[in-house]
Amino acid sequence: MTELSYAHGTSGTALLGDTIGASLDRAVAAWPDREALVDVPSGRRWTYARFAADVDRLAYALLASGVAKGDRVGIWAVNCPEWVLVQYATARIGAIMVNINPAYRTHEVEYVLKQAGISLLFASLSHKTSDYRAMVGQVRGNCPQLRETVYIGDPSWDALIGRGIPDLHEDFRVRGSELSCDDPINIQYTSGTTGFPKGATLSHHNILNNGYFVGELIAYSEQDRICVPVPFYHCFGMVMGNLAATSHGACIVIPAPSFDPAATLKAVERERCTSLYGVPTMFIAELNLPDFATYDLSSLRTGIMAGSPCPVEVMKRVVAEMHMEEVSICYGMTETSPVSLQTRRDDDLEHRTGTVGRVLPHIEVKIVDPVSGVTLPRGSAGELCTRGYSVMLGYWDEPEKTAEAVDSGRWMHTGDLAVMLDDGYVQIVGRIKDMIIRGGENIYPREIEEFLYAHPKIADVQVVGVPHEKYGEEVLACVIPRDSGDLLTLEELRAFCEGRLAHYKVPSRLRIMESFPMTVSGKVRKIELREKYG
């Protein structure tokens, strides 16, 4: 009988039953003098002992400011040490930290402030074209629950810290005793493509365990130094980066406030980082730097590539040219804390480039028929679902939308099309909503993208379906060229595909682009490509 597309992650290592604060205490006790955090732009450094002391001082200040257990504390900021301090300080006292995308404009910020009921907001002063203070001023009158805004790098930060007097020690101890690992600790607004985003609500148990087991699978220890150029406001940064680090005594290295390929490689070289994170577009940008070969990246051994499908050719270069022989592919979503599937250190190149790995310890995955919900045989494409400790508590104050995503059996429906291979490894073949249906044929853009990455004139490519009068949809290839002086033509592209792809998969349209529309977390906005060129 054909085996079904179901797998569960067994493990001899038990789940952690701690809060984030208790986990940090263990790290401080074991490695007080090891570096916990380095901010390359400012040159500031924290040992575990100093980091914990500054976290507690901020926690005292929040207590003195009247922040109660369960109160929502927002953070609207780029990557900086203060972001990390806020993450751990709010966890210390049971406040719920609300991550706000630094790219949000006023109407989006106003929505999050009101929907989450944020009472205290931490914000950057400015970044690029965003003046956060002015933007808060524009919306504050419409957000009655917001009683205080503290700006990082501003006297208001120092004033808040000054409230954290030692007399609050007993209050701090009592608050800690009231916390449970199942308490909500974090709200992350998922980047919706239509309408306003939804606030995925996560517990200590969700994110601490996910960070810990992701780190276990790439063998993190107190010897590791993790370069984190991905945004903290996203699970990739704050869970796979920060919590994976502190649960293993490793060091968090911040290369820049936001992604900068040269700054990232300089930080790896200067701080002798052993691990580097990024979405595929970040690694592509680093590899394409004109002076890439001049950086000493020999300290690297591992890292994580995630956030969107990872092109095979890019992955091969990362392994060969960036010394990341143990690099891991992770797959997940904010609603699952985030990782459900991960490749292993000893996986061969085929598995580490052609799949997103197999199920994590203590998690279940299955692939179902999107209509009937029946689990499919292995080798069949269907919707990927996941269940276990990592599934969110729900969308904040939106029970109906929670019920649409998490069924009665506590399975999270991802919306991703996937295939489980005979050995349990999983391939992501696209989004249900991204699937192209041309003349009755189902086309998965990921398959065409992987094939086109091998073309010598293509640096990056995204494939989308656009309307067609006869076939319903046709295939559009959006291409960033390797050389702006030697542009690809549609005839060349089609000739490259001829005889190697089924005729209905061969792109019938081509757009040459300088860049793709992106979310801040590094995902390509395919809906924008479809709308603009359809």
Domain containing residue 476: 434-533
Convert the pLDDT of each residue in 461-472 to its tens digit.
999 999 988 888
Does the residue 529 lie in any domain?
A: yes
> 128 pLDDT band (50/70/90 cuts)?
confident
> 195 pLDDT band (50/70/90 cuts)?
low
Can you give the length of the chain in residues? 534
Up-side HSE of residue 40: CA atoms within 13 Å toward CB?
Answer: 28
> 194 pLDDT band (50/70/90 cuts)?
very low
Does the residue 342 lie in any domain?
A: no
CB neighbour burial string for 448-478, b if at least 16 within 10 angstroms, e if fewer: bbbbbbebebbbbbbbbbbebeebebbbbbb
Last residue of a domain, one of 141, 160, 179: 179
End-to-end CA distance of the chain: 44
491 pLDDT more than 60: yes
Amino acid 191: pLDDT:
62
508 pLDDT more than 50: yes
CATH of the domain at 152: 3.40.50.980
CATH of the domain at 522: 3.30.300.30
Last residue of a domain, one of 126, 149, 179: 179
Does the residue 226 lie in any domain?
A: no
CB atoms within 10 A of CB 502: 10
User: How many domains, the chain?
Assistant: 2
Amino acid 309: pLDDT:
64
- Between 185 and 130, where is the model more confident? 185
Q: How far apart are CA 427 and CA 341, in angstroms?
A: 10
**Residue 280 to residues 2, 311, 509, Cα–Cα distance (Å):** 34, 7, 24
Does the residue 461 lie in any domain?
A: yes
Tokens at 301, concatenated? 């051994």
280 pLDDT more than 70: yes
344 pLDDT more than 50: yes
Mean pLDDT of 287-298: 97
Does the residue 219 lie in any domain?
A: no
Does the residue 8 lie in any domain?
A: no
- Between 272 and 284, where is the model more confident? 272
Our CA angle for 229, 230, 236, nearest 5°, is 135
Mean pLDDT of 452-460: 95
Evaluate whether 365 touches 340 at the Cβ level (below 8 Å). Answer: yes
Q: How far apart are CA 246 and CA 32, in angstroms?
A: 12
520 pLDDT more than 70: no
Write out the DSSP string of 397-447: T-HHHHHHHB-TT-PEEEEEEEEE-TTS-EEEEEETTT-EEETTEEE-HHH
Amino acid 129: pLDDT:
86
Nearest to 163 by CA among 92, 83, 70, 59: 59
Last residue of a domain, one of 140, 162, 179: 179
Q: Give residue for tokens 């700054």.
A: 263
Mean pLDDT of 275-284: 92
316 pLDDT more than 60: yes
Nearest to 337 by CA among 382, 369, 306: 306
Evaluate whether 400 touches 28 at the Cβ level (below 8 Å). Answer: no
> 521 pLDDT band (50/70/90 cuts)?
low
Mean residue pLDDT of the chain comes to 94
237 pLDDT more than 50: yes
Amino acid 134: pLDDT:
96
Helical ranges in 132-254 per DSSP H: 132-139, 155-161, 169-177, 204-217, 235, 244-246
Convert the pLDDT of each residue in 175-191 to its tens digit.
999 999 999 999 999 86
Evaluate whether 411 touches 445 at the Cβ level (below 8 Å). Answer: no
Does the residue 344 lie in any domain?
A: no
- Between 196 and 268, where is the model more confident? 268
Amino acid 193: pLDDT:
41
88 pLDDT more than 90: yes
Percent residues over pLDDT 70 in the chain: 98
Strands 275-278 vs 225-227: parallel, antiparallel or unpaired: parallel
Does the residue 119 lie in any domain?
A: yes
Convert the pLDDT of each residue in 350-360 to its tens digit.
898 889 999 99
Q: What is the largest CA-CA distance in the chain?
A: 76
Torsional sign, CA 100, 101, 102, 107: negative
Evaluate whether 274 touches 300 at the Cβ level (below 8 Å). Answer: yes
Q: Which helix (H) or strand (E) is 21 found in, with range?
A: helix 20-30
